[in-house]
Structure 1
Amino acid sequence: MRRRKPPTWLTIIPAALMMTGHWDAASGATLPQPPQQQEQSQRSRYADGVYTAKGQYGDLPSFIVVTVTLKNSVITAVQVTPQATVPESLERQRSFAAAAPKMVLGKPIDQVRVGKLAGSSGTPRGFNDAIQKIKQQAAS
């Protein structure tokens, strides 16, 4: 039985590059970006800036106003402005407005979707509606 020669560095390096998805030996082309670079380019699909949208929810059109600051598609500031006129609804919107920033600050906008929060189950639907509208505004 014939013994194989160990591979040389010249064969190991291109093989390692092909396995990690950085280089294609056949064409000499660079293959798709590594996951962290892909993640960064996906984050940048929304233009930096301050965006405001009205989010509606409920049978009777209830709404809140959401203002978001985006930097590299990440929420760096958020303000929820209650709009209810009925005292009970206004209190729920205020509680939601106080709790929402803790849930979304520092997150990529594509990962933001809130559920029942601070005892409010309707206001989150309005918030999520506003976030969708903001994403449309900021799409670059």
Structure 2
Amino acid sequence: MQHQTRNLLLASALTFTLAGAAEAQSARSARFADGVYTATGEYGGQPSHITVKATLKGGIVTAVSVTPHAYVPRSLELQRAFAAAVPKVVVGKRIDQIRVGKLAGSSGTPKGFNDAIRQIRAQAARG
């Protein structure tokens, strides 16, 4: 009987722990409204910019695209390489945890991307 009581108490504690973790995850995702958001991120001294379009569901980025706007051929090449690489890095991640560093040879474009993601977080934020 004592063994059964102890197992029941452990099972109850585990259930409460799992429920608390699920509730915390739900609260985090509820901070952001589902939808498709677009922002322009700026960076550099020229200044340079890119347009970022992100789809959110439950606080998770389910799709992302980057539109390059550079005129200088090398800058455009770097923006295009970044645009091709970034979905693999951010899709499936929580919007509040995304911060991209140097990617696909580009160290400037991620700054514009992070600027746009900051704006998207603000657009999607609830309350």
TM-score, structure 1 as length reference: 0.78
Aligned position for 2:113? 127
Aligned residues: 126
Displacement after TM superposition at 1:43 (Å):
1.4
Q: Which has the higher contact order (CA 8 A, sep 6+)?
A: 2
The 3-state SS of whatever aligns with 2:38 is strand
Larger radius of gyration: 1
% identical aligned pairs: 54
Using the TM superposition, name which of 37-46 and 122-131 deviates more.
37-46
CA RMSD of aligned residues (A): 2.3
Give, in whole Å, the separation in 2 of the partners of 1:81 and 1:52: 11
- Detail structure 1 runs of 4+ shifted over 2 Å in the superposition: 6-9, 11-17, 19-22
The 3-state SS of whatever aligns with 2:66 is strand
Gaps of 5+ in 2: none
Aligned position for 1:117? 103
Give, in whole Å, the separation in 2 of the partners of 1:66 and 1:36: 30
Aligned position for 2:85? 99
Give, in whole Å, the separation in 1 of the partners of 2:108 and 2:32: 27
The 3-state SS of whatever aligns with 1:34 is helix
Aligned position for 1:41? 27
TM-score, structure 2 as length reference: 0.86
CA deviations 1:17-70 (Å, max 9, x no partner) are 5x6694xxxxxxxxxx61232012211210000000000111221110000000
- AA in 2 matched with 1:57: Y
The 3-state SS of whatever aligns with 1:85 is coil
Structure 1 or 2: more helix by fraction: 2
Check if 1:89 corresponds to 2:66.
Answer: no
Gaps of 5+ in 1: 1-5, 23-32
Displacement after TM superposition at 1:115 (Å):
0.4
